[in-house]
Chains A and B, each alone.
Chain A
Amino acid sequence: MVRQTHIVSTSRVPVTVRMASPEFDDLCALVFRRYPDLEWASFARFGWRETSKGLVITLAGLDAPAQGDLDELVGHVKIAEPYTLRTALAAEGHPLAVGIIHSHPEGCRPQPSSIDDDMDGYYGSYFEDFAPGRPYVSLIFSKIDDELALSGRVRWHGKWLQVGRFAIERTPTRTWVGGCRPADGENARERTARLNAAFGDQAASRLRRSTVAVIGAGGTGSAAIEILARAGVGRIIIVDPDHLDESNLERVHGSTPEHVIRRESKASLARAHVMSIDPTCHVDAYVGALPQREIMDAVVTADVALGCTDQQHSRLALSDIALRYLVPSLDCGVMLEGREGKVSGQILQIIRFLSADACALCRSLVFPVRLAQELMSDEERTQRRIAAAAARERGDDPHPYWHEEAQLNTVGYLTTTAGAMAAGYVIGWLSGRFDPPFERLQLNLAGKFLDVTDFEVIPRADCICRRVRGWADQASADALISPPLHWAPPQAL
């Protein structure tokens, strides 16, 4: 039977598709196996998150074809019914969305053909029977002028939505919305001429169409934000729950005593600072913190997330976002150590979280007691401090009630160094020009040759981070952290 389906998809609901290694590499190897002239395909599983502004789809795994599942004798993709049925039956046993990814021959636009319309029209309703209430995803991969050309559409709540953006971990990509060639980037700008000369105009264009989420706009974050804005990053998401106080003036870029008098939020100050540097940069600023829902909704749309809070809960949340939503992240922190009136250590740490990296738990990067204390309400902290004092008076151990943590001291030149370095690695990722060559970099500015160390950790085989990579909201029961109910609701500025 020949079907005559004509699919009209809308771009009214923004759809972002995220992918990461190793699944993305495996997928490319599969769909391009008969390249450059012949097509190939694979079914796949996807997580998803419906945000307040759109839909984010994450590649969670491949249901790769076995021998005989696709017809080798034809140039286009012809799928044997048992492969389809096997995929559909598997979907009854997992909570993920189902989709298909196929290639178009080299040089051919990733625009759906009438055969593709027929296929998607059929599968869109077929998989609805096996995986009701879940999106159906159809993606097309092509290579044009030595670049990946990706397009896609998603059937969701009975409507076809165009994929507006692909965000591939550590891989700059151009999205061909609806299969149409993307508009050429704007002309190279004089303001980034030195960066363009160093990394090339293509890199500048990639930065311009990139989104970076910066969590924390204090000493480290404000330095990173400034570097990213000056480098020409197109969109910056800024998140910080705090307001400026006088002690911030030594570290926070762009801050003045006037801001302190006004008790301006750090997010608002950072946004104004970015706009003063580059009025064309799109800034979304929030007074809030990870993992609050609205903040998560924003951060999962970023190409890269950068953690600059040096707090346990933020680090854990970034690890979770990298794991379940495939957002490559860097988390940085600094610390001053002293002894006998001398500064003995000026420690700077940058931690990489990719979806396939060991999570923060596997790497023992969080300390449960300190984390629990961070997450307590002020009232509970007060109660516990009182209980600890009472225990001390009784001669009991006060630690079950409260564990006094030393204030992490830091100074502006150290936070600026950390923020600038981390922003540099982000620029490397976004431009495709270089990769952070570490999993967890630690260095000591007070050490000979900086005492540079890298910590590589193999994930624990039984950790949940081995099971739910790319599962997005479908693994919400496995989220590493949830937002405390006593936190103030986030505020978009």
Chain B
Amino acid sequence: MSFERIERELAILGEGCQIAQLITSSGRTLVLYRNVPTSGPRFSLPEVTDVIVPVPPGYPAALIDLAGLPVGSPFLPRVKGGQNNQGTLEADGRLWQLASYHPHNGGGGPPWDQTRYGFHTYIDHLIAWLDRLT
């Protein structure tokens, strides 16, 4: 696990006032993005939500994939892949559901390039994901 790299990426997010933390739960390492903006108000939903993203084994060699929302989140039925459960996990005292969201793996984003992308750029995909609610 390249903790140094992830910490560096999270620090870049911090410079832009996006809070994100590296957390470990049940042997899995995850990045928890706090208060990611959404287009929720259009649907009378919250303006922000927390999102978790698993750190892939071998990172940064392996691509970042998936995104998780708290189980029962009103966003789950409205985000892309939210109804296609890719597993649940416990982290930060909550239960999370991983959605079938694959921006770097044929899901509409650019192919993975570890020299350009990371958790600091994945935020863009999360914002887009939470903006395109249905």
Contact = CB atoms under 8 A, between A and B. Distances in A.
A408 interface: no
A462 interface: yes
A484 B61 CA distance: 10
Given A313-B58, A485-B27, A477 B8 contact: yes
A364 to B, nearest CB: 10
Contacts of B107: 400
Interface stretch (B40-48, B111-119, B123-131): B111-119
A28 interface: no
A478 B5 contact: yes
A475 to B, nearest CB: 9
Given A399-B105, A400-B106, A366 B61 contact: yes
Contacts of B111: 368
Interface stretch (A128-136, A343-351, A371-379, A433-441): A371-379
A124 B2 CA distance: 32
Contact of A482 (B61, B63, B104): B61
Interface in A354-392: 361, 366, 368-369, 371-372, 374-377, 380, 383, 387
B5 A375 contact: no
B5 A313 contact: no
A202 interface: no
A312 B29 CA distance: 23
A401 B107 CA distance: 11
A476 B2 contact: yes
A486 B54 CA distance: 14
A174 to B, nearest CB: 36
B61 A313 contact: yes
Given A369-B63, A399-B105, A400-B106, A477 B58 contact: no
Interface in A296-321: 312-313, 316
B63 A484 contact: no
A281 interface: no
A145 to B, nearest CB: 45
A258 to B, nearest CB: 35
Interface string B65-96: 10000000000000000001011000000000
A127 B67 CA distance: 47
A484 B57 CA distance: 4
Contacts of A313: 58, 61
A479 B2 contact: yes
A480 B57 contact: no
A483 interface: yes
Given A383-B87, A464-B115, A477-B8, A486 B58 contact: no
A400 B105 contact: yes
B60 to A, nearest CB: 7
Given A361-B114, A361-B115, A400 B57 contact: no
B37 interface: no
A481 interface: yes
Contacts of B100: 387, 400-401
Nearest to B81: A400
23 contacts: A361-B113, A369-B63, A369-B105, A371-B61, A372-B58, A372-B62, A376-B56, A383-B86, A383-B87, A387-B84, A387-B86, A399-B105, A399-B106, A401-B100, A462-B115, A480-B60, A480-B61, A481-B58, A482-B5, A484-B57, A485-B29, A485-B57, A486-B27
Please name the 7 residue pairs, one residue from A and one from B, whose CB atoms are nearest each other, closest first: A484-B57, A375-B58, A477-B4, A481-B61, A400-B102, A372-B62, A368-B112
